[in-house]
Amino acid sequence: MRVVIQRSKASSVMVDKKVVGSIKSGLVLLVAFTEGDTIKEIDYMINKIINMRIFDGTPEQSLLETGGEILAISQFTLYADATKGRRPSYFKALKSEEADKLYNLFVQRLKETNIKVETGIFGADMEVNIVNDGPCTIILDSN
């Protein structure tokens, strides 16, 4: 499982020119799954994400402490392999049907933390607008 975390001042996602998810201050999560990912990886990543001290304060604060929000976007291209040729290969990305199940479980488990969670639409052509705060971008890999 891979997650790209971007601290955000405001973000939204549009599908067919309609906003389907938006947040104010918080985190944008670009999320991808690979073969072997389970609820174990999901719970590990969620715990890491919501408790990571990357917000201003003394000491630095976590998303839980700031009351921030999450915009979670599925993005299989995080598993792109561009080592050969000019066209990336996505063979490491989990097949769509299985990834959709894990993504929905990821979102459900995030919502159980009582954080406001907004999403895009799995598999849709999305336009994601991110106002990166900092900028602050962190890449997590469950391996």
DSSP H helices in 58-95: 63-66
Euclidean distance between CA atoms 81 and 78, whole angstroms: 9
Q: What angle do CA 77, 81, 82 make, to 5 degrees?
A: 110
Q: 105: burial class by Cβ within 10 Å (0-12, 13-18, 19+)?
A: middle
- Known catalytic residue at 113: no
DSSP H helices in the chain: 39-51, 63-66, 96-111
- Known catalytic residue at 76: yes
Written as six digits, the tokens of 30 are 């670009």
- Known catalytic residue at 75: yes
Q: Which of 77, 91, 108, 137 is catalytic?
A: 77
Q: Which of 6, 33, 34, 76 is catalytic?
A: 76
CA distances (Å), 98 to each of 34, 38, 39, 41, in order? Answer: 9, 10, 12, 14
Residues classed as catalytic: 75-77
